[in-house]
Structure 1
Amino acid sequence: MTLYKPIFRLCTNKRTLQQLHAHLLVTNHNRDALATTQLIESYTKMGAIQSATLTFRTFPTPDSIMWGVMIKSYTNNLFLEEAISLYHQMQYHQSHQNAFVFPSVLKACSGLQDLGVGWKIHGSIIVSGFESDVVIGAALLHMYSEMGRLDDARRVFDSLSVRDVVVWSAMISGCIQNDRADEGLEMFRRMGLENIEHDRVAMLGATQACAELGVLKQAKAVHGHAVRRDISLDGSVENSLVVAYSKCNDFDGAEKLFKKVSRRSVISCTAMISCYNKQLRFCQALEIFVQMQESKIMANSVTMIGVLHSCAQLRSLRIGMSVHGFLIRTSVDPAIDNIVGLALINFYANCGRLQDSRNVFETVQDKTLVMWNSLIKVYAQKGLSKEALILFTRMCNEGLLPDSFSLASSLSACGDNGSFELGSGIHGHVIKAGFQDNEFVQNSLIDMYCKCGFVDIAYGIFDKMEGKDVITWNSMMSGFSTNVHSIDMEGYHKTRQVGGQYQSAWLIRVCGAELASCQEQSNATSPVLPQKNEQGN
């Protein structure tokens, strides 16, 4: 077998490997366990998983190493069910199990999210006496973290007598993955106290934790540690730090670091686009996108949302349409990407191109409720209440249940259109769906009934509301003034309890209504004076 090892390395394609395989068959070396194991590994590296499986199945008595290699081959090629099935076969045929097989089968359990099998394998690890193995411990940590069982992962971590950098890094990553960033940072700190050298994975975990928590001081500390340790092998740590500074709202720090990063990633570029958008520096955000194209950095959906937001705020129809064309050419197409489609709808609406917004909407497959709500809101805000109501009706007919946002936008459109019957029908749906206590919806109902001239119904809703805010008072008073109702000044004084000061919009409406009321009373009660003639008689 020693003679064949260099020959295996020379097999660079499937054809030459098959020739070697044929030679092994002719020379009867195919019964050699090491040679067969090497064949399985070589076939797997070339993606020929069927050839690897056939080689394994034709070997009469596989040893524990060959079983492990075949299970690993299945797992690495995402044949996860086959990997677990082969593990069970190995248990039946092979009494002895080595430590090599467990990381691969645990990874398969993680991929399938099969906690039951994972627990059984964990039991087999304990029975086999491998519970203190560091590599298996890291695999267990990863499996439990992937399945959201961070407490189980922590128990495995605490039970390990020896913890290397891989185990620590796996535990930190698990904390971040399960939205327990504070624990991840604490693990990072403990790792340093125990004199374990931080690796790139641990540093990435720490920067992600800082970003999630928005803790700038810790982010700067991690940055300083990375610089001192020179942990910048592939630029991933620097890119992650740009994101951390961005999420901590240190835009200057993010910009300075971003300019120093030699190998930028889509993540850091997207973070900088977001930074510039937050600072209203939309032209600079678009410049980053141009630099990405020049550097051959592929944009993702999140990047494109940021770019389209910049175009929308600049109201640059020409640039936005160019971005739309780029999306279609690069297959980041709204027809398959709901989120990008939503950004395009808002962009065209901002530029006053409602028909283009509608065209994008119609091309999107599997429209979400958010997308329906967005277009309904656009129509309502542009005064196209009829179109908004037609869209709302179509949404309901397609089986989507409206949420509070859908209902509020549609009620607003009913009020603008004077559609009392449809508005009262939506009110019925509000009650059936349990949104009658939603403050957002209640305000919209008051506004709708007032605009339709049914102030008594509006006041009935208003009177029953427990938490009246300034918008509630403004809507009700606007209804009173529009429909020439008298105003109880007690309500005027109650607004002090809402906002602490008189709201200008409310005061304008109150004063307008009061002046109208006073004018009517004045006209009714003032005596009619005789007209003087030209001579003053």
Structure 2
Amino acid sequence: MLASLPIQVYQSKFQCFLSLKSSPPIEKENKSGFLNNNRRKPKRILKSPCFSFPDPSIPSQTTQNSVFDDSNQNPDASIYELLDPDFLSHSLRSCSTLREVKRLHAVVLKGFRRPVTFVDNNLISTYVRFMRIVDAERLFDGMRDRDVVSWTAMITAYSKTGMEDEVLQVFERMVEDRVVANGSTYVCLLNSCSRRSDFDLGKQVHACVVKGSWSNLIVNSTLVHFYARCGDLEAAFRLFDSMPKRDVVSWTTMVAACAQHGHGGEALSLFAQMQREGVRVNEFTVCSTLKACGESKDLKFGRQLHGASIKKGLMLDVFIGSSLVGMYVKCGQVVDARAVFDSMPRRNTVSWTSMIAGYAQNGVAEEAINLFRRMKKRRILTNSLTVVSILSACGSISSLCLGKEIHARILKYFTWSNTHIGTTLVWFYSKCGEYKYASRVLKDMPLRDVFSWTAIISGYAQNGVGVEALGSLSDMMWEGVDPNPFTYSSALKACAKLEAIREGQWIHASANKRVRSPMCL
């Protein structure tokens, strides 16, 4: 019966429920309820007891009981007459603060004789919106009846906070309870598989989607993103081509995937096809296409996108500005990159890092160092790419003092688990002739790959320490790391300086055996 009442009538009933018995009645002019702000307000505003708790999570018993003081009315009957799950759910979605959520939760706890799954699901989703995962867990664990929406709400909660293991655990419990998943559940699972790069589990989820006929635009776009993120571009294209309808998200996913995997030309072709089909691009599409322009060194296409971005007023977007800087840097146009950088109203870490990397890669190390000092003065956070770029600049001009300063910064703010940083440090010290420091850094690295070993071997060879270079090659192979052509080339240079013909012949034979594609050693 209540479900059929107009929302204005029900709001009025809900206001009466929340009002103290001793409070004066609301004027007839405000019949539409407490959510209507357009009408003239009464002189005395009623204050809801349930919205006046000192601690919203612990309503006082006196205040709760004051709602039910009417001896002529059954409290439970009054509650069921006044509280409607649809209206409460609407109110929860309208909450702008956690305090309001807690107060409505208190109303639900007191107002319903038995838990209402629909309301509890909305409470879980609201707690997740405010990132109150512990409160959502507590409510979920206390539910007697959980449907697919309840399970999906918790999976979404863990997925949003990056708790990938918990996502899978909740899904396993859901399967054990024989609850059938829906499209939203599969979207959350696929996103989790993408972040974990769990290809096998993602394929199983795809099979469940096909078996349950849950394919739709959102699910298919998520599947395309999953395959692209895991590096299976063939499967991503196959699924993308089979989609009956494609939106800007699915198109952007494919453009970004091609750009990230070095297929810049394919990404630009997709962007052109997207334009022909009349799909409106967004900021993410532009950023991905600019990255593709940089990868394929297509400066002309990049300039056209730059002009279109100015025309459409997108240059205020910090991500598009950073992508433009990166595009010009990769195309070797450092002056244009700096012009875009200086014109940006806001800059983030990516913007600064792209410009520093551009200077370092194009042999303008002094400008890279000056820009890094400006970045430090403005207290802008650095990331691993910033560190690698400035170390490259320091190494190219043998600036040992600044490099050691960066090394100290690495020890303070970063971990040795980042192999890229460790390898760059080894290269930097080798470039500066400090091969003892380089050797120490290499030993401290928990994980050494072929690039780390090649950096130290190359450093030894360049500094005329051939014996240590050959010793490092032996240690590298003992650890089970296969040398690449550059490793063999550096080792052969060491043999040449030592005039070690026998060792050189052995390295040459090993290279012919291990390296698939022959190259000039």
* TM-score higher than 0.5: yes
Aligned runs of 1:229-244 on 2, under 5 Å?
229-244=312-327
Q: What do residues 371-405 of structure 1 show as CA deviations (whole Å, max 9, x unaligned)?
A: 33333333333333344445445545555555554
Out of 134, 152, 173, which is 1:68 matched to?
Answer: 152
Out of 424, 427, 431, which is 2:509 matched to?
Answer: 431
In the alignment, is residue 377 of structure 1 matched against residue 458 of structure 2?
yes
Measure, in 1, the Cα distance between the counterparts of 2:175 and 2:314.
43
Measure, in 2, the Cα distance between the counterparts of 1:188 and 1:157.
14
In the alignment, is residue 367 of structure 1 matched against residue 448 of structure 2?
yes
Change (3 A) 1:151 1:49: same
Please say if residues 146 and 174 of structure 1, whose CA atoms lie closer than 8 Å, have aligned partners that are also in contact.
yes
Q: What do residues 316-360 of structure 1 show as CA deviations (whole Å, max 9, x unaligned)?
A: 33333333333333x236x44433333333333444444433443
Letter in 1 for 2:278: N
Please say if residues 165 and 199 of structure 1, whose CA atoms lie closer than 8 Å, have aligned partners that are also in contact.
yes
Out of 257, 266, 270, which is 1:183 matched to?
Answer: 266
Q: Which residue matches 1:174?
A: 257
Q: Which residue matches 2:12?
A: none
Please say if residues 145 and 178 of structure 1, whose CA atoms lie closer than 8 Å, have aligned partners that are also in contact.
no
Q: Which residue matches 1:344?
A: 425
Measure, in 1, the Cα distance between the counterparts of 2:334 and 2:363.
12
Please say if residues 64 and 98 of structure 1, whose CA atoms lie closer than 8 Å, have aligned partners that are also in contact.
yes
Q: Which has the larger radius of gyration?
A: 1
In the alignment, is residue 215 of structure 1 matched against residue 298 of structure 2?
yes
Q: How far apart are residue 149 of structure 1 and its match?
A: 3.5
Q: Which residue matches 1:154?
A: 237
Please say if residues 369 and 390 of structure 2, whose CA atoms lie closer than 8 Å, have aligned partners that are also in contact.
yes
Please say if residues 41 and 69 of structure 1, whose CA atoms lie closer than 8 Å, have aligned partners that are also in contact.
yes
Q: Which residue matches 1:326?
A: 409
Measure, in 2, the Cα distance between the counterparts of 1:90 and 1:206.
40
Which structure has greater helix proportion? Answer: 1
Letter in 1 for 2:294: A
Q: Which residue matches 1:44?
A: 128
Letter in 2 for 1:385: G
Measure, in 1, the Cα distance between the counterparts of 2:138 and 2:392.
54
Q: How far apart are residue 170 of structure 1 and its match?
A: 2.6
Q: What do residues 34-69 of structure 1 show as CA deviations (whole Å, max 9, x unaligned)?
A: 321122224434555455344334433334433332
Q: Which residue matches 1:287?
A: 370
- SS of the counterpart of 2:98? coil
Return the TM-score normalized by structure 1: 0.69
Q: How far apart are residue 237 of structure 1 and its match?
A: 0.7
Q: How far apart are residue 216 of structure 1 and its match?
A: 0.4
Unmatched 5+ stretches in structure 2: 1-84
Letter in 1 for 2:328: Y
Change (3 A) 1:409 1:130: closer
Measure, in 1, the Cα distance between the counterparts of 2:298 and 2:178.
52
Change (3 A) 1:341 1:87: closer
Q: Which residue matches 2:228?
A: 145
Matched-pair identity in %: 26
Aligned runs of 1:246-325 on 2, under 5 Å?
246-325=329-408
Letter in 2 for 1:259: D
Change (3 A) 1:303 1:43: same
Aligned runs of 1:100-119 on 2, under 5 Å?
100-115=184-199, 118-119=202-203
Measure, in 1, the Cα distance between the counterparts of 2:172 and 2:89.
32
Measure, in 2, the Cα distance between the counterparts of 1:411 and 1:152.
42
Change (3 A) 1:96 1:433: closer
Q: How far apart are residue 243 of structure 1 and its match?
A: 0.6
Q: How far apart are residue 225 of structure 1 and its match?
A: 1.5
Measure, in 2, the Cα distance between the counterparts of 1:161 and 1:193.
17
Change (3 A) 1:317 1:18: same
Letter in 2 for 1:280: G
- SS of the counterpart of 1:31? coil
In the alignment, is residue 195 of structure 1 matched against residue 281 of structure 2?
no
Q: How far apart are residue 91 of structure 1 and its match?
A: 6.8
Quick check: 425-434 or 368-377, which moved more? 425-434
Q: Which residue matches 2:16?
A: none
Measure, in 1, the Cα distance between the counterparts of 2:390 and 2:517.
34
> How big is the alpha-carbon RMSD for the aligned residues of Structure 1 and Structure 2?
3.7
Q: How far apart are residue 433 of structure 1 and its match?
A: 6.2
Quick check: 265-274 or 284-293, which moved more? 265-274
Q: How far apart are residue 370 of structure 1 and its match?
A: 3.0
Q: Which residue matches 2:44?
A: none
Measure, in 1, the Cα distance between the counterparts of 2:200 and 2:519.
45
Q: What do residues 84-119 of structure 1 show as CA deviations (whole Å, max 9, x unaligned)?
A: 565576578678765443322332343444555545
User: Which has the bigger relative contact order, CA under 8 A and spacing at least 6?
Assistant: 2
Please say if residues 83 and 108 of structure 1, whose CA atoms lie closer than 8 Å, have aligned partners that are also in contact.
yes
Q: How far apart are residue 177 of structure 1 and its match?
A: 3.7
Q: Which residue matches 1:513?
A: none
Q: How far apart are residue 228 of structure 1 and its match?
A: 1.5
Aligned runs of 1:374-523 on 2, under 5 Å?
374-395=455-476, 398=479, 400-417=481-498, 424=502, 427-428=505-506, 430-431=508-509, 434-435=512-513
Letter in 2 for 1:275: G
Q: How far apart are residue 248 of structure 1 and its match?
A: 1.4
Q: How far apart are residue 122 of structure 1 and its match?
A: 4.2
Measure, in 2, the Cα distance between the counterparts of 1:86 and 1:359.
45
Q: Which residue matches 1:521?
A: none
Aligned runs of 1:18-29 on 2, under 5 Å?
21=105, 24-28=108-112
Measure, in 1, the Cα distance between the counterparts of 2:180 and 2:503.
71
Please say if residues 408 and 441 of structure 1, whose CA atoms lie closer than 8 Å, have aligned partners that are also in contact.
no
Letter in 2 for 1:381: Q
Runs of 4+ in 1 over 6 A off after TM superposition: 16-20, 91-97, 436-443
Letter in 1 for 2:227: Y
Across the two proteins, how many residue pairs are aligned to each other?
435
Return the TM-score normalized by structure 2: 0.71
Change (3 A) 1:233 1:41: farther
Out of 295, 307, 314, which is 1:224 matched to?
Answer: 307
Measure, in 2, the Cα distance between the counterparts of 1:127 and 1:417.
66
Please say if residues 24 and 30 of structure 1, whose CA atoms lie closer than 8 Å, have aligned partners that are also in contact.
no
- SS of the counterpart of 2:429? helix
Q: How far apart are residue 305 of structure 1 and its match?
A: 2.6
Please say if residues 84 and 109 of structure 1, whose CA atoms lie closer than 8 Å, have aligned partners that are also in contact.
no
Unmatched 5+ stretches in structure 1: 444-537
Letter in 2 for 1:107: N
Letter in 1 for 2:448: K
Change (3 A) 1:205 1:316: closer
